[in-house]
Amino acid sequence: MKILMVGATGKYAGLVLPELKKRGAVVRALVRNQDGARLASELGADETAIGDLEDAGTLSAAVAGTDGVFHINPAFAPREADLGLAMVKAAEDAGVTKFVFSGVIHPSLSKLSNHAAKVPVEEAIYESGMIFTILQPTMFMQTIENGWDEVIDEGKFSVPYSKQMRVSYVDYRDVAEVAALAFTSDKLDYGTYELSAPGMINRIELTLLMTKILGHAVEPCDPFFEDWADKSHIPAGPVRDGLKRMYIDYNEYGFPGGNSLVLEAILGREPRSLEQFFQELSGRERAAA
């Protein structure tokens, strides 16, 4: 099976590429330029296609001759839903057989743009006539790496919402494995799946787990959003605005999930845990020291 893959060079979606290759798929990476093409090839893509989700005209050529499409929306992008709709239309017009969409858990959270933008894309996929698999992962464990330097250097883990609020996580490597299974078998055809590791955790418990694994104290911090965004070098614009809305919502409601039944059933094993994830990060630190 030949698959056009969106996000092959990305920090999160890029984890799907080795899982597809492991199962014998031929992967054509959608990239924006020659630099992206070189990187995608280095990462294992068999082919590359230069195109842009903002330019629907480039997607027809990119998807031509493929059997499947893996798509993930760039979260908080202006007109995010339109980018997904353009890819669905291109795949449908090209006669693609199978479409796998990595969306988000609870797309019905309409106040959050990165959730609401997934709904019209899901609707278009359901109506396309293609075999589909919709993945709805919760918060990626890999996002914790964005603050890992602060954990190591300052003994703090800072995110701009209440440290008392509970959230759910999933290791995106588990999501990537599910995506690859969706392409290389038929057992996930026509399904929509919430994907989560078990349980919910607040930042106090999270940093206690970090403390246990790292062997030094890690303090949970909940800075003001603007201070956090400035320190994280997030410029003014749609991403910063979308993150602000998201964290305001988390501050009031947390990010519920944590039911791992579906993910465990698909993988045939327990999903990766936060403890395992932190042990890996700690191991990398020791190896680099």
Tell me how far apart the alpha carbons of residues 180 and 197 are, in angstroms, rounded to a whole number: 18
Long-range contacts, stretch 103-106, CB < 8 angstroms, 24+ apart: 103/73, 103/134, 103/135, 103/136, 103/137, 104/136, 104/137, 105/136, 105/137, 105/138, 105/168, 105/194, 105/195, 105/196, 105/257, 106/136, 106/256, 106/257
- How would residue 289 be classed by pLDDT, with cut points 50, 70 and 90? low
The answer to the question of residue 78 being in a domain is yes
Residue 230 domain-assigned (yes or no): no
Which residue has better confidence, 57 or 165? Answer: 165
What is the pLDDT at residue 249?
A: 96
Helices (H) and strands (E) in the chain, counts: 13, 11
Give the model confidence (pLDDT) of 220-247 as tens digits: 999 999 999 999 999 999 999 999 999 9
Q: Is the pLDDT of residue 285 over 80?
A: no
Q: According to the model, what pLDDT value does residue 172 have?
A: 98
How confident is the model over 94-115, as a mean pLDDT? 96
**With contact defined as beta carbons under 8 Å apart, do 23 and 46 qualify?**
no
User: What average pLDDT does the structure give for the chain?
Assistant: 96
Q: Is residue 132 part of a domain?
A: yes
pLDDT of residue 75: 86
pLDDT of amino acid 284: 84
- Domain range for 97 is 2-138+170-195
* Reported confidence tier of residue 45, pLDDT bands at 50, 70, 90: very high
Q: Which positions ≥6 away from 281 have C-beta within 8 Å?
A: 144, 145, 148
Place of tokens 């693609």: 96
Q: Is residue 237 in some structural domain?
A: no
Mean pLDDT, range 22-44, rounded to an integer: 97
Please tell me the distance from the alpha carbon of residue 16 to that of residue 5, in angstroms, as a whole number. Answer: 9
CB 136 within 8 A of CB 195: yes
Locate 123 and state its tokens: 């609707």
210 part of a folded domain: no
- The confidence score (pLDDT) of residue 286 equals 73
* Whether residue 25 has pLDDT greater than 90: yes
Segment 143-191, tens digit of pLDDT: 999 999 999 999 999 999 999 999 999 999 999 999 999 999 999 999 9
Q: What is the CATH number of the domain that holds 64?
A: 3.40.50.720
Q: Is residue 272 part of a domain?
A: no
187-199: average pLDDT: 98
Q: How many domains does the chain have?
A: 1
| Token representation of residue 48 | 């590359």
In a domain, 52, yes or no: yes
59, part of any domain: yes
